[in-house]
Amino acid sequence: MNQHFELNEVTKKLPKHLHKFVVKQPYEEYTPQNQAVWRYVMRMNVDYLSKVAHKSYMKGLDLTGISVDNIPHMEGMNRILKEIGWAAVSVDGFIPPNAFMEFQAYNVLVIASDMRTINHIEYTPAPDIIHEAAGHAPIISNPEYAEYLRRFGEIGSKAISSSKDYEMYEAIRLLSILKEDPNSSDKIIKEAQEKVEYLQDNMGELSEMAQIRNLHWWTVEYGLIGSLEHPKIYGAGLLSSIGESSWCMRDEVKKVPYSIEAANVNFDITKPQPQLFVTPDFAYLSLVLNEFGNTMALRTGGLKSVQKLIDSENLGTVELTTGIQISGVFSRVIHYKNNKVAYIQTIGETALSNRDKELIGHGIKSHASGFGSPVGKLKGINLPIEDMSPRDLKAYKIYEGEFMTLEFESGVIIKGKAITGTRDLMGKILIISLDDCTVTYKDEVLFKPEWGIYDMAIGKEVVSAYSGPADVDSFLGLGKVSETKASKIKYSDKDQELYKLYTDVRLMREEKSSTSKKLEEIFIQLKSKFPEDWLLSLELYELALQNNYVIKEEILERLLVLKNNKSYTKLIENGLVLCKN
């Protein structure tokens, strides 16, 4: 099988279920105007961000090999990123949050392969290569921040979603695609916007994933660092937006000390942010992340954690005190006094693991129709099964070939003949398998003999619950790729004619082959055929100014006329400053 992306020391560690999200960077599809947009934004960024960004940003641009003049090739970025232990892969727009986080956990940046259009040059709601490559990549050259990003991925990928989170993800993905597509109608954009707003207002209690997504937004995407009075920018959303990087420094944008409270502050990707959080330093980010991690089912366990998995309606894992891990879609939990877990139940394919490795004979084929097991101690016996020595097990008649009745404190009763057991490497018993087994709770039958062998997981408590499987190789087709695809922008013959002029100007600049006559010929075509295009006029003015061609005055006059269009005013003013510098 041909590998559709470059494998190196970092990317070869990615689990196979993440490979499906990686796409080939469509470099040949970037238009000459796309390249000009990249150059404009990057020149603006380097000029402005050198004053307001965290010092790691400018250093990082050099370290990651990101050029001001050209949209980066993924292969070239990878050759340089590997020096700091990271890699980058190209993806199609927004990918599901758990997958996004999991890539980060493996030190891999996911870079949306699309490039914003000139109509969204200041800001785009869709992730694009400016945002990802020029925003995220340079900052990871700071070791403290890079470790925060990796730990965030580790913890975030385990966050439990609600059943509404995926619907919200799909709605935001669709809206971002529609807003970036110049062929989208106002009506269809309005409908998509209304759906996102409706979902935002009706999410109910925030899930772990929604909360950690908020933390990600207010740090990795829109974070400020330093003092409240004089903060610097480190969030990629701000670093990649020439509009918001300027806006965020104004007094109108409220600056708040960063804390775990940010997990409960929602955001709107379609609007400038009215407030931002300021961390004193990168180390503090990790402290807050750890504080939030301590609130997650991943670390708290217990009844509430199992209930979170049930509410999510998604694949998750429960771990018991013995270390046995049960991965599947959890459908039910029975509890008894003091909110203790009595019994857990999954539906459909389930796998059992230990230390994140599937136990032999306990994959999804063995447990294709679900799995159920009691949790807790036996009634009247202080010693949990997991702590019993072989002598204890025999004393309580828990051994192979013995027909037994096990009554748990919760009221769950198991009757059957023990036929085998599974232990971990230290000899601790993880599973007891029984034949001719009946499992009851009060008047309810939970398992019948005719259903086959009953595998009872051993553990006195649920110590952890989290999203996804314990062993990523247990489930085929893990992770869902969105069916909503970005439509290829269709360029007209007139568009192609304009892009040819962009190419001509680019070559003149790179080859230092401009002449006054060539510039005049292109300028005449631009004025007559493309009267609204301001960016190429700016590039022409730059060349004319550098070479002191007489036509510079005529081009400047045209730019000043175009500047009357409020959509272009600030863009042209900033561009003229760059040209003169």
In three-state form (DSSP H/G/I as H, E/B as E, the rest C), the secondary structure along 536-553 is HHHHHHHHHHHHCCCCHH
**What is the b/e burial string over 227-248, where b = at least 16 CB atoms within 10 angstroms of the residue's CB?**
eeeebbbbbbbbbbbbebbbbb
Angle, nearest 10°, between helix axes 516-529 and 535-547?
160
Domain contains 223: no
Domain contains 127: yes
Same domain, 181 and 99: yes
Residue 486 is predicted with a pLDDT of 65
Domain contains 255: no
Contact assessment for residue 442 and residue 411, using Cβ atoms and an 8 Å cutoff: yes
| Domain end position, chosen among 177, 192, 211 | 211
Same domain, 320 and 461: yes
Residue 415 identity (one-letter amino acid): K
Domain contains 216: no
- Please spell the DSSP secondary structure of 343-389, one letter per residue: EEEEEEEEEEEETTEEPTT-STTTTTT--EEE-S-BTT--S-GGG--
Same domain, 116 and 164: yes
Same domain, 132 and 182: yes
Express each pLDDT in 99-144 by its tens digit.
889 999 999 998 888 888 888 887 766 678 887 788 888 899 899 9
Q: How many domains does the chain have?
A: 3
For 401, other C-beta atoms within 10 Å of its C-beta total 7
Q: Which residue, 469, 467, 454, is CA-closest to 374? A: 454
Same domain, 447 and 573: no
Domain contains 152: yes
Dist. CA 70–CA 482, nearest whole Å = 30
Domain contains 225: no
* Domain coverage including residue 555: 493-580
| Burial class of residue 336, CB neighbours in 10 A (0-12, 13-18, 19+) | middle
Same domain, 81 and 138: yes
CATH code where residue 146 lies: 1.10.800.10
Same domain, 538 and 461: no
Same domain, 433 and 511: no
Residue 238 identity (one-letter amino acid): L
| Domain end position, chosen among 192, 211, 230 | 211
Domain contains 129: yes
Domain contains 507: yes
Same domain, 191 and 309: no
Same domain, 446 and 498: no
Tens-binned pLDDT, residue by residue, of the chain (581 aa): 456 677 788 888 998 889 989 988 889 999 999 999 999 988 888 888 889 999 999 888 878 878 889 998 888 888 888 888 999 898 887 788 888 899 999 999 988 888 888 888 877 666 788 877 888 888 998 999 999 999 999 999 999 998 788 778 788 788 877 877 777 888 988 888 888 888 877 777 889 999 999 999 999 999 999 999 999 999 988 888 877 888 899 999 999 999 999 999 988 776 778 899 999 999 999 999 999 999 999 999 999 999 999 999 999 999 999 999 999 999 999 999 889 999 999 999 999 999 999 999 999 999 999 999 999 999 999 999 999 888 888 888 888 888 999 999 999 999 999 998 888 888 789 999 999 999 999 999 999 999 999 999 999 999 999 999 999 999 977 777 766 666 677 889 999 999 999 999 999 999 999 999 999 999 999 999 999 999 999 999 999 999 999 999 999 999 999 999 888 898 999 899 988 87
Same domain, 390 and 322: yes
| Domain end position, chosen among 179, 211, 243 | 211
Residue 415 is predicted with a pLDDT of 96
pTM here is: 0.86
Same domain, 313 and 446: yes
